[in-house]
């Protein structure tokens, strides 16, 4: 017995020592916050951090600030940066093993590491020097940690140094995120659907707009008429489909509220209290710990006016050396994803006698073959051959089996440059609009305002393709002369809106323009216009603006879009005895619903809409799968207009014959929705799941120290306050240029992903509650100095 007690004591001692060693190792990877660092800079740079971890970086020249920002990113965000470059390059399996292999195989087809090296080499010398200075700062910051970042201890892998091309890869990762993961699945699915239904029905199902649209130029597009029975009769078509056809179509990621997007809007000085413009922006992305953005303030002497200090406030992307969105004291700017058409499928007609060659408008050409090796942790390397044409890599097949190459703007080296950094020196909204078309980045809606009260909208991104001779929503043969992308749109032709008469601008991933400009931009799957319309109407409801009015629009979680669906549900269940609908049966026709955490009716109405769309479209999904078993309906967002027309006009020839009538279908959707919701409030279904990428691999008692609290969240898609469990506003700001002390910036997840950092989760509760966190940093809590190496 005594021996057993001794063994237990020793085991406890060993466990305590192991825990202590683990704690010291973890502590050793916390970023340096105070003290002096020598080397890497030409003149002294100071880094002051407030209680949130916002870094104020002050120096004598921009190059030193680039190095210092890289140093901070390398110290506090290296693992996040590593994931960005690896996801773009298709190198995740090297770190995570076979679990990441499928993602690597998909992304390696784009050969982004090779393209990144080409893009860096093509940069002007000055921009290439910035990339190199940033690289050196990142690696110095990483090396200056006492222990490598804790994630690598857990993964038992050393971090690989940062390379110059990795900054381009970080931007390519954003292309993947914002452009459908580089798969162009939407247009594949459109082709599959078109192959199975008559043209009038196809045009009805995929009509490009709805009455909810609220473009800043133009009006909602007219609806497409329901085709008659003589065109298509679903009752007959169903005879050719399997008898065990599911009654509800498959839901897409977008239907679950996770379509990458954003809100941005602005009001001119004529409407503001101080006479300067007000710019609001919240970029909707997947939410993690730490947040994708890094808050920073950068201050340095203006090289064009030594008496002035350039003062930048906003967010940076760890992995890149620029301030992405925010203010320079004279202008403020932000983005939303444009959802223009930046990817097209090209039919590759191989030579029957030699499949290694294909037809082009200049004659036959050889298909390039690139051997790629994917390194897999804990397993053998995987060899991958990428076949590439002049238009892009071969990645899919058309409905008739013809190979398809993906033409994507991201494949051109021009899409990466650092022209964005020139915004630091721009003084006017007009000047920013002129610069935007040269900025190498994913094409975004760009809204800007200046201190004189001017506002404007245009597109950023220097790669708008000119198209000729084909329908860009479907695969096409570009081997014919004059068909395909024929060049790039000149900056002078980019659509712009400057100082509109009502001094209000807005964008929210829906269609923004019309006419020739819309034809130039194309349709890459615009979001439903309900959110944009609610923002527009919210702006029009105010005649005088401060930051508080902008925040009220951003936090608007009224369920205006669902009001017609709620009334349809109320009428559908009026004659039923189902207990789940008792409250609804006795409710008034008027509804002031919100996506509030304590609202049970909202959750039911929301689910009823989705289930109705899924039921109405189930047969059409089955028809699409006759072309390809992988067919998916693009999204319930796309089908809002046609399905609403079906459930209001109720044509018998387009009803699934398994239902007696349209009311029978609606009642089935209502009951399915009630079963799924089970009386839960919206807050019980919309619970924050903002987690560190590695927390799922840890026991719960450890994971909770990495992740944000599992709190109920208000808001949803199709309203300004877009918020899901792990998706929503990755930042939320409103900035008045020249009045930054009256502006705010909120971020979820905090500035640091290190559980022992004082900035882990800092500011997150403000984001949850919608409390405006000041844009300008608070009182200095920590001070770090970088200075030149001693002689």
pLDDT, tens digit, for every residue of 50-85? 999 999 999 999 999 999 999 999 999 999 999 999
Active site residues: 262
CA distance 137 to 78: 12
707 is in an annotated binding site: no
Domain span at residue 349 reads 343-411
Say which residues have a Cβ less than 8 Å from residue 428's Cβ, sequence separation at least 6.
330, 331, 450, 452, 454
Please tell me the predicted confidence (pLDDT) of residue 383: 98
Please tell me the predicted confidence (pLDDT) of residue 18: 47
**Number of Cα atoms under 13 Å in the Cβ half of residue 640:** 22
- Same domain assignment for residues 347 and 237: no
Q: Which of 561, 404, 399, 368 is nearest to 477 (CA)?
A: 404
Q: What are phi and psi of 654, to 5 degrees?
A: -115, 20
Q: Which of 401, 389, 330 is nearest to 361 (CA)?
A: 389
- Same domain assignment for residues 347 and 245: no
Q: Would you say 322 and 332 are in contact if contact means Cβ atoms under 8 Å apart?
A: no
Considering the domain boundaries, does residue 121 fall inside one?
A: no
Please tell me the predicted confidence (pLDDT) of residue 17: 42
For the ranges 41-50, 503-512, 698-707, 770-779, the lowest mean pLDDT is seen at 698-707
Quote the DSSP letter at residue 580: G
CA distance 690 to 726: 5
Q: What are phi and psi of 266, to 5 degrees?
A: -150, 155
**What proportion of the chain, given as a percentage, has pLDDT over 70?**
95
Q: Is the pLDDT reported for residue 14 higher than 60?
A: no
Total domains in the chain come to 2
Considering the domain boundaries, does residue 437 fall inside one?
A: no
In 226-267, alpha helices (H)? 234-237
94 is in an annotated binding site: no
8: confidence class by pLDDT, cuts 50, 70, 90: low
How high does pLDDT run on average in the chain?
Answer: 94
- Same domain assignment for residues 564 and 676: yes
**What proportion of the chain, given as a percentage, has pLDDT over 90?**
87
DSSP per residue, 660-729? SSHHHHHHHHHHHHHHHHTT--HHHHSB---B-TTGGGS-HHHHTTTSPP--B----SSSSS-EETTEEE
- Same domain assignment for residues 241 and 352: no
The per-residue pLDDT for range 160-215, each reduced to its tens digit, is: 999 999 999 999 999 999 999 999 999 999 999 999 999 999 999 999 999 999 99
Q: What are phi and psi of 440, to 5 degrees?
A: -80, 105
Q: Which of 89, 121, 113 is nearest to 103 (CA)?
A: 89
Please tell me the predicted confidence (pLDDT) of residue 658: 92
| Region 740-752 average pLDDT | 98
Q: Would you say 688 and 681 are in contact if contact means Cβ atoms under 8 Å apart?
A: no
The per-residue pLDDT for range 223-254, each reduced to its tens digit, is: 999 999 999 999 999 888 887 788 888 866 65
- Same domain assignment for residues 244 and 350: no
Please tell me the predicted confidence (pLDDT) of residue 583: 75
CA distance 265 to 242: 49
472 is in an annotated binding site: yes
- Same domain assignment for residues 564 and 668: yes
| Region 303-311 average pLDDT | 91
Which range, 305-314, 568-577, 742-751, is most confident? 742-751
Choose the final residue of a domain: 680, 697, 722: 680
Give the tokens for residue 503.
């001094």
pTM: 0.95
Give the tokens for residue 333.
């700017």
Q: Would you say 597 and 715 are in contact if contact means Cβ atoms under 8 Å apart?
A: no
Please tell me the predicted confidence (pLDDT) of residue 262: 92
Considering the domain boundaries, does residue 55 fall inside one?
A: no
Q: Is the pLDDT reported for residue 666 higher than 70?
A: yes
Quote the DSSP letter at residue 92: S
Considering the domain boundaries, does residue 489 fall inside one?
A: no
Where residue 375 sits, what CATH number does that domain have? 2.30.120.10
Please tell me the predicted confidence (pLDDT) of residue 408: 99
The per-residue pLDDT for range 338-390, each reduced to its tens digit, is: 999 999 999 999 999 999 999 999 999 999 999 999 999 999 999 999 999 99
Q: Would you say 59 and 47 are in contact if contact means Cβ atoms under 8 Å apart?
A: no
187 is in an annotated binding site: yes
Please tell me the predicted confidence (pLDDT) of residue 20: 43
Q: Would you say 217 and 514 are in contact if contact means Cβ atoms under 8 Å apart?
A: yes
Give the tokens for residue 449.
């305002």
Higher-scoring residue by pLDDT: 258, 638: 638
Choose the final residue of a domain: 651, 680, 709: 680
For the ranges 466-480, 618-632, 664-678, the lowest mean pLDDT is seen at 618-632
Considering the domain boundaries, does residue 519 fall inside one?
A: no
Considering the domain boundaries, does residue 766 fall inside one?
A: no
Q: Is the pLDDT reported for residue 268 higher than 50?
A: yes
Q: What are phi and psi of 72, to 5 degrees?
A: -65, -45
CA distance 436 to 494: 9
| Region 397-422 average pLDDT | 98
Considering the domain boundaries, does residue 207 fall inside one?
A: yes
- Same domain assignment for residues 670 and 566: yes
Q: Would you say 534 and 716 are in contact if contact means Cβ atoms under 8 Å apart?
A: no
Q: Which of 443, 424, 483, 444 is nearest to 304 (CA)?
A: 424
Is residue 286 classed as helix, strand or coil in its secondary structure?
A: strand
| Region 738-755 average pLDDT | 97
In 77-149, alpha helices (H)? 78-89, 93-96, 101-108, 112-122, 125-143
747: confidence class by pLDDT, cuts 50, 70, 90: very high
Considering the domain boundaries, does residue 242 fall inside one?
A: yes
13: confidence class by pLDDT, cuts 50, 70, 90: very low
Q: Which residues, in sequence order, are bridge partners of residue 350? A: 358
Give the tokens for residue 441.
């980045």
Using alpha carbons, list the distances in angstroms from residue 405 to 110, 370, 387, 398, 750: 11, 15, 9, 10, 41
């Amino acid at each position: 017995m005594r021996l057993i007690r001794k063994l237990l004591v020793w085991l406890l001692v060993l466990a305590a020592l192991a825990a202590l060693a683990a704690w010291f190792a973890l502590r050793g990877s916390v970023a340096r916050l105070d003290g002096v660092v020598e080397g890497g800079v030409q003149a002294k740079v100071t880094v002051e951090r407030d209680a949130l971890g916002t870094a104020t970086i002050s120096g004598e020249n921009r190059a030193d600030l680039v190095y210092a920002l890289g140093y901070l990113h390398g110290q506090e965000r290296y693992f996040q940066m590593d994931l960005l470059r690896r996801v773009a390059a298709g190198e995740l399996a090297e770190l995570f093993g076979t679990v990441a292999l499928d993602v690597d195989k998909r992304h390696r087809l784009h050969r982004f590491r090779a393209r990144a090296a080409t893009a860096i080499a093509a940069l002007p010398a000055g921009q290439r020097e910035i990339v190199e200075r940033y690289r050196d700062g990142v690696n110095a910051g990483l090396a200056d940690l006492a222990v490598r970042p804790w994630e690598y201890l857990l993964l038992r892998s050393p971090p690989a140094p940062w390379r110059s091309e990795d900054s381009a890869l970080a931007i390519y990762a954003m292309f993947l995120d914002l452009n459908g993961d580089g798969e162009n699945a939407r247009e594949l699915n459109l082709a599959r659907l078109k192959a199975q239904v008559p043209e009038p029905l196809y045009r009805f199902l995929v009509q490009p707009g709805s009455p909810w649209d609220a473009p800043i130029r133009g009006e909602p597009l007219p609806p497409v008429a329901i085709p008659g029975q003589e065109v298509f009769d679903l009752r007959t078509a169903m005879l050719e489909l399997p008898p065990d056809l599911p009654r509800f179509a498959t839901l897409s990621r977008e239907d679950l509220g996770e379509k990458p997007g954003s809100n941005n809007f602005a009001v001119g000085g004529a409407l503001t209290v101080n006479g300067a413009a007000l710019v609001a922006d919240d970029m909707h992305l997947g939410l993690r710990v730490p947040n994708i953005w890094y808050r920073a303030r950068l201050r340095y002497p203006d090289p064009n006016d030594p008496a002035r200090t350039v003062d930048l406030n906003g967010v940076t992307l760890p992995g890149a050396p620029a301030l992405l969105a925010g203010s320079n004291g004279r202008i403020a700017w932000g983005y939303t994803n444009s959802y223009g058409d930046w990817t097209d499928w090209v039919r590759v007609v191989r030579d029957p006698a030699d499949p290694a060659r294909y037809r082009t408008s200049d004659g036959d050409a050889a298909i390039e073959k690139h051997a790629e090796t994917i390194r897999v942790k804990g397993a053998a390397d995987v060899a991958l051959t990428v076949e590439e044409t002049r238009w892009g890599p071969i990645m899919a097949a058309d409905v008739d089996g013809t190979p398809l190459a993906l033409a994507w703007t991201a494949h051109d080296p021009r899409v990466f440059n650092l022209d964005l950094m020139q915004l630091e020196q721009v003084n006017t909204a007009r000047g920013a609009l002129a610069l935007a078309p040269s900025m190498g980045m994913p094409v975004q809606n760009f809204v800007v305002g200046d201190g004189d009260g001017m506002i404007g909208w245009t597109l950023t991104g220097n790669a708008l393709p000119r198209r000729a001779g084909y329908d860009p929503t479907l695969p096409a043969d570009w081997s014919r002369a004059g068909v395909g992308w024929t060049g790039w749109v000149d900056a002078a032709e980019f659509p712009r809106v400057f100082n509109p008469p009502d001094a209000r601008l807005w964008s929210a991933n829906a269609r923004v323009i019309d006419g020739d400009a819309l034809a130039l931009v194309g349709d890459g799957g615009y979001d439903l216009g309900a959110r944009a319309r609610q923002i527009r109407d919210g702006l029009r409801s105010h005649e005088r603006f401060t930051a508080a009015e902008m925040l009220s629009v951003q936090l608007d979680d009224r369920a205006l879009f669902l009001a017609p669906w709620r009334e349809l549900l109320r009428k559908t269940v009026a004659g039923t005895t189902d207990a789940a609908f008792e409250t609804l049966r006795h409710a008034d026709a008027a509804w002031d619903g919100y996506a509030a955490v304590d609202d049970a009716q909202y959750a039911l109405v929301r689910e009823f809409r989705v289930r109705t769309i899924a039921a109405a479209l189930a047969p059409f999904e089955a028809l699409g799968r006759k072309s390809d078993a992988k067919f998916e309906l693009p999204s319930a967002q796309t089908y809002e207009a046609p399905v609403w027309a079906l459930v209001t006009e109720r044509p018998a020839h387009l009803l699934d014959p398994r239902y007696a009538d349209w009311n029978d279908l609606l009642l089935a959707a209502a009951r399915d929705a009630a079963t799924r919701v089970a009386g839960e409030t919206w807050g019980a279904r919309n619970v924050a799941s903002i987690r560190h990428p590695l927390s799922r691999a840890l026991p719960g008692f450890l994971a909770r120290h990495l992740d944000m609290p599992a709190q109920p969240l208000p808001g949803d898609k199709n309203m300004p306050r877009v918020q899901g469990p792990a998706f929503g506003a990755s930042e939320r700001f409103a900035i008045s240029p020249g009045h930054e002390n009256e502006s705010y910036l909120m971020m979820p997840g905090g500035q640091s992903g290190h559980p022992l950092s004082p900035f882990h989760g800092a500011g997150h509760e403000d984001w949850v509650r919608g409390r405006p966190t000041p844009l300008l940093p608070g009182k200095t809590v920590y001070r770090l100095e970088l200075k030149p190496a001693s002689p």
